[in-house]
Structure 1
Amino acid sequence: MSAARGTPATRTRRALGAAGRMAVLAAGLGVAGWIIRTLGLAPGGETGMEWVDHWIRGQGLWGEALFLLAGTAATAAGLPRQAVAFLGGYAFGAAIGTALALLAQLLGCAVSFGWARLLGRDWAARRLEGRFGRHLRPLHNRLVSSPFGATLALRLLPVGNNLALNLLAGLSSVRLVPYLAGSALGYLPQTLVFALLGDGVAVDRTAQLILGALLFLVSVALGVWLLKREPPAG
């Protein structure tokens, strides 16, 4: 038996440790989801606009801080980031709503990325070598080889799962700084679009709603173009 493999007891401890880390990872995401449901942001509870009317609008710095906290927890747990941007625009207007929603999205991105990296990277590295990894390997390789460009292109598209991408990046060897930079720039167009839509709903500005829809289409087209320009993963 090679030293790299270790004794059966060592392998057992490693397996139990990996299982424990993954359990903590799942529990953390579950707690974030519970916070969202408690705040009334989950489907079936108080609607987002009702929650904002009750807790956020007109509350000054307290409302902004609570929105930032709730938006971070929401995006970290998988709530669509566009919903956070819409509620930001509804609560604070397009400019401030965009800034606060973008910050909440980035914090949520960093939380889920860091949570996955801290607890599950070794487990993921082994899985990427097996049958499970064959489906994720192309995306993983593209993110690793071009973390800023690939992330930027993927963030501009309205498809995909924000949380899943954060977890995949955290579980892999993707570098954090370019990943967050690409996320920030890629989040911005749709964050602005949905903040404009939320602001338009709040003040009944039809022209603003139309502008938001047009900007959304431009964002999607740009994402597709950038993704096609990205070199294929090796």
Structure 2
Amino acid sequence: MLLVVRSLGFALLALTGYVAVEHGWLELISDQVQLASYLNHNGLSGLIMVCLAGGLFTGIGGPRQLLAFALGFALGGVQGVVTSTLAAAIGATGCFWVARWLLRDVLSTRFGHRMHSFNKLFHEQSLLKILMVRLLPVGSNLLTNLVAGCSSIRFLPFLAGSTLGYLPQMLVFALAGAGMGQANRYQLAVSALLFILASVIGAYLYQKQRNQSLAQPVSDPS
């Protein structure tokens, strides 16, 4: 019975997110001109609301890069980076705990073997491995949040690794947004270089982790 209630709870939240997107409740987040006007007129309270709305936007699968670009345009590079990264961390936190409270038992029942493999992979050096996943410019932020929430990974390493891993891409797109707003070609160039650097770091960490896994001795079943 509890499993059914949790499944229905998650379905209700997913439906709410769909309705929010379908009715354009979060369009302000993706429109940098409207966003800048809203923030100029509402000050600190507007900034808090945008941060929370950005958390919801990224938590239901919206691209955090778009959020960073819009906030970079509206607030400037530095403040855009900080606000968009905080919003993405809030979104990841919400998604993580929704998955842990509502989806964990369901997925453990249906995909127990795959969840066991994920738990085994992320059991050690959780922060570093989550950081690696976030740095790579591939994969789904939403899927990572959900799977992590359904796994046995601890929350603090997940949050720390995610926040640190978000920073390079958020910096890239916030600077690009700020450069677009101010017609600053140097900020655009810096953002492109940072994107390449973050991708190289992520690929390096992935290759290093893969080599360590291959170097581990395989136990003889006999």
TM-score by length of 1: 0.82
Match of 1:4 in 2: none
Aligned-residue offset at 1:162: 0.3
What is the alpha-carbon distance in structure 1 between the residues aligned to residue 155 and residue 26 of structure 2? 31
Match of 1:87 in 2: 70
Out of 128, 141, 166, which is 1:187 matched to? 166
Out of 170, 173, 192, which is 2:152 matched to? 173
What is the alpha-carbon distance in structure 1 between the residues aligned to residue 82 and residue 36 of structure 2? 19
Out of 41, 46, 55, which is 2:27 matched to? 41
What is the alpha-carbon distance in structure 1 between the residues aligned to residue 70 and residue 41 of structure 2? 14
Aligned-residue offset at 1:40: 4.3
The 1:148/1:47 distance shift into structure 2, 3 A limit, reads: closer
Aligned residue for 1:232, secondary structure, equals helix
| Letter paired with 1:104 | A
| Letter paired with 1:26 | A
Aligned residue for 1:78, secondary structure, equals coil
Match of 1:5 in 2: none
- Paired residues of 1:142 and 1:232 also in contact (CA < 8 A): no
Match of 1:98 in 2: 81
Aligned residue for 1:159, secondary structure, equals coil
Match of 1:27 in 2: 12
1:140-160 alpha-carbon deviations (Å, 9 max, x no partner): 432233321110000001110
* Structure 2 segments unaligned to the other structure (5+ residues): 217-222
2:42 corresponds to 1:63: no
* Structure 1 segments unaligned to the other structure (5+ residues): 1-12
Match of 1:151 in 2: 130
Aligned-residue offset at 1:227: 1.4
1:159-185 alpha-carbon deviations (Å, 9 max, x no partner): 100010000010111110001110011
Q: What is the aligned residue count?
A: 212
What is the alpha-carbon distance in structure 1 between the residues aligned to residue 15 and residue 199 of structure 2? 31
What is the alpha-carbon distance in structure 1 between the residues aligned to residue 33 and residue 57 of structure 2? 16
What is the alpha-carbon distance in structure 1 between the residues aligned to residue 173 and residue 18 of structure 2? 22
What is the alpha-carbon distance in structure 2 between the residues aligned to residue 51 and residue 30 of structure 1? 26
Out of 178, 192, 198, which is 1:213 matched to? 192
Match of 2:3 in 1: 18
What is the alpha-carbon distance in structure 1 between the residues aligned to residue 194 and residue 40 of structure 2? 26
| Letter paired with 1:215 | L
What is the alpha-carbon distance in structure 1 between the residues aligned to residue 76 and residue 6 of structure 2? 41
What is the alpha-carbon distance in structure 2 between the residues aligned to residue 39 and residue 139 of structure 1? 35
The 1:33/1:56 distance shift into structure 2, 3 A limit, reads: farther
The 1:227/1:138 distance shift into structure 2, 3 A limit, reads: farther
What is the alpha-carbon distance in structure 2 between the residues aligned to residue 112 and residue 67 of structure 1? 18
| Letter paired with 1:200 | G
- Paired residues of 1:41 and 1:51 also in contact (CA < 8 A): no
Match of 2:213 in 1: 232
Identity of counterpart residues, as a percentage?
Answer: 33
TM-score by length of 2: 0.87
What is the alpha-carbon distance in structure 2 between the residues aligned to residue 199 and residue 78 of structure 1? 24
| Letter paired with 1:93 | G
The 1:97/1:55 distance shift into structure 2, 3 A limit, reads: same
| Letter paired with 1:102 | T
